[in-house]
Structure 1
Amino acid sequence: MIHEHLTEFHGLPVHDLGGSAPPSAAAWRVEGDDSYDDLPSFEESFAKLLDTVDCGAVRALVVGTWGWAHDDRRADVPVGLLTEAAPRFPALEAIFLGDYVSEESEISWIGQSDVTPLLTAFPRLKRLDVRGGDGLEFPAVEHAALETLRFESGGLPAEVVRAVGASTLPALRHLELWLGSDNYSGDSGPDDWAGILAGRGLPALRHLGLQDSERQDDVAAAIATAPIVARLESLDLSMGTLSDEGAEALLSGQPLTHLKRLNLRHHYISAEMSKRVLDALPDVEIDISDRRNEQNWRFIEVSE
């Protein structure tokens, strides 16, 4: 998922500039890299988007490369251009920010900035996906329309996690956080997850993903008593270091039988405990594939 560019986003096929799709029938990718003389800069590509596509009908944008990912001087360029041009995009519903693949940048190197101006500039935005956590800021916000919020990272800063939990997002149904590794600023813990798990500002939430964590057992233990779980339809604890300890916490905690889906893929749970989980939740669709062999260390799926 981080090794190939998006081909679909927000239910729409992704088209590069110059494509012939109707403006509302595609998610338009805009990218640039002024590190090489023969490639346009991101600013030039964005200007081309404004000049060649009927932006008034565009529903989804995929922001690809905007230069060397770790150049802090460039981190806020796409957010700045998008917010400045917001009146040109009255129909915009979804933004994917940072469609860098591993050949272009490791996920932990992708430099981000404060992304909340996008929510202020686009009050009708339904979906925001952000890849990369280096320099990422997300002060607590209020947004009436946002339905999906996703952060893909090798390490999500604790202050971002806390701010999500302190935000007021009454329409949010899908929340996905790749918590990551402490080596890459993924330093959140139970106190930081508490706001999300209380769910006071997330009354419509139906899917929660707290994934890719080196502390996945601690996440499971927190989930076991979290008020928000009762209203969920699906729960994703995949990609991390979940072991028998975390699985036991899930089974010993509040009932999960109301869930439609439980994703535990990429884990360190024993075969015996895996069977216990499956037997305890026979009517839940469970993905407990990709059991990892623990040797000297447990690894999350996405870090650097």
Structure 2
Amino acid sequence: MTVLGHASFFAGRPVVEVPASGPLPAVDGPVAWRIDYPDWDNRTDETPSPGFRDRFDRFVDQTGESVQALVVGAWGYAAFNPAPIDQLCAAAPRLPNLTALFLGDIVSEECEISWMRVGDVSRLLVAYPRLESLRVRGGENFRFSPVRHGRLSRLEVESGGLRPEFVRAVLDSELPALTDLELWLGDPTYGGDTTVDDLAPLLAGQRFPALRRLGLCNAQIADDLAEALAAAPVVRRLETLDLSLGTLTDRGALALAGGQPLTHLTMLDLSHHYVTDEVVATVQATLAGVAVNLSDPQTPYIEGDEVYRYTVVSE
């Protein structure tokens, strides 16, 4: 499966589209402005889209200091045009009140997630020291560098295949205010070679002291993650644990149910899974006081002696 729908809410605000031309629509209360420039001109020179550049500059001229939340959709054809990170960083002095940014609200019919050319998204944190929420999506040339940021409380990284270098750079960052971390680890076929060992400092509770919600989602290694989390110190201070969108089977689910106590959690999200009905009942009985999401059960695809299980987002 792939990403099928644009965000309708972001950072607790309804998303409002920036029109292609003319004035911005009147809004009632705080909104997240969404700007995009879909373009399939088949250029292969891998340069920023001039159409997006002009539309974004016009939008900033219209809104300036009033923008608090921004969603960036298609920036041309994202397989050829790199993400407008340079432009976003350069615009920071004109967007002094931006606290929430989503880069990459692009669905599969616009560009497959594994084709999206992005770049080093940590530069956005350097440019916007007041940012509290950063959500990024991408695949090709998707990078992160260790950074220190004092205000970021929510970081969401969505990918069909998140490389170990990206994950390790996130974990090497100093983010003292981070309460919510979500990483879509993906499929090795698309570069998602991250292992439990790469996550060791996080699982040991050595990173991000304010962390209360951890999502290790969309993962082919969901069972390995579950087994590690069954004894991981970080779990003891979490309120929400999210292993959704991945390939969790009975092995991982039983490890969670039989590991360290999870009754302190308010939510355990295991949706989109390959867990049998019998084990689902076991998990629910063991964690009777926890909101456990075991919706969207999947059936493996079997071809000969091969059994295939798929994450929600890979291509």
Same fold (TM > 0.5)? yes
Q: Which moved more, 1:258-267 or 1:190-199?
A: 190-199
Cα offset, 1:229, TM superposition: 0.5
Q: Distance in 2 between matches of 1:8 and 1:212?
A: 21
Residue in 1 aligned with 2:174? 168
Pair 1:44–1:23, CA change in 2 (3 A):
farther
Q: Distance in 2 between matches of 1:212 and 1:56?
A: 36
Whether 1:68 aligns to 2:77 is: yes
The aligned runs of 1:284-303 (5 Å cut-off) are: 284-296=290-302, 297-303=308-314
Amino acid at match of 2:68: R
Cα offset, 1:273, TM superposition: 0.8
Q: Distance in 2 between matches of 1:163 and 1:100?
A: 24
Cα offset, 1:26, TM superposition: 1.8
For residues 48-98 of structure 1, what are the alpha-carbon distances to aligned partners after superposition, in whole Å with 9 as ceiling and x for unaligned? 112222x21210111111112111xx324x111111110111110000001
For residues 85-121 of structure 1, what are the alpha-carbon distances to aligned partners after superposition, in whole Å with 9 as ceiling and x for unaligned? 1011111000000111111011111111001111011
Cα offset, 1:259, TM superposition: 0.3
Stretches of 4+ moved more than 4 A in 1? 33-37
Contact 2:257 2:287 in 1 (8 A): no
Query: Where is the strand percentage greater, Structure 1 or Structure 2?
Result: 2
Residue in 1 aligned with 2:13? 12
For residues 242-264 of structure 1, what are the alpha-carbon distances to aligned partners after superposition, in whole Å with 9 as ceiling and x for unaligned? 11111121122211110000011
Residue in 2 aligned with 1:152? 158
Pair 1:35–1:273, CA change in 2 (3 A):
closer
Pair 1:15–1:40, CA change in 2 (3 A):
farther
Amino acid at match of 1:59: Q
Residue in 2 aligned with 1:27? 32
Cα offset, 1:137, TM superposition: 0.8
Q: Distance in 2 between matches of 1:191 and 1:23?
A: 48
Whether 1:129 aligns to 2:138 is: no
Q: Distance in 2 between matches of 1:181 and 1:213?
A: 7
Q: Distance in 1 between matches of 2:233 and 2:91?
A: 40
Amino acid at match of 1:58: V
TM-score normalized with structure 2 length: 0.90
TM-score normalized with structure 1 length: 0.93
- For the residue of structure 1 that corresponds to 2:171, the secondary structure is helix
Amino acid at match of 1:57: S
Amino acid at match of 2:85: V
Amino acid at match of 1:8: F
Residue in 1 aligned with 2:198? 192
Cα offset, 1:195, TM superposition: 2.1
Report how many aligned residue pairs link the two structures: 299
The aligned runs of 1:36-55 (5 Å cut-off) are: 36=41, 41-53=51-63, 55=64
Contact 1:268 1:292 in 2 (8 A): yes
Contact 2:38 2:110 in 1 (8 A): no
Percent identity between matched residues is: 48
Cα offset, 1:33, TM superposition: 4.3
- For the residue of structure 2 that corresponds to 1:258, the secondary structure is coil
For residues 124-145 of structure 1, what are the alpha-carbon distances to aligned partners after superposition, in whole Å with 9 as ceiling and x for unaligned? 1000001112211111211110
Pair 1:36–1:24, CA change in 2 (3 A):
farther
Residue in 2 aligned with 1:212? 218
Contact 1:166 1:196 in 2 (8 A): no
Residue in 2 aligned with 1:79? 85
Q: Distance in 2 between matches of 1:241 and 1:42?
A: 37
Q: Indicate which of 244, 250, 255 corresponds to 2:256.
A: 250
Contact 1:33 1:41 in 2 (8 A): no
Whether 1:235 aligns to 2:246 is: no
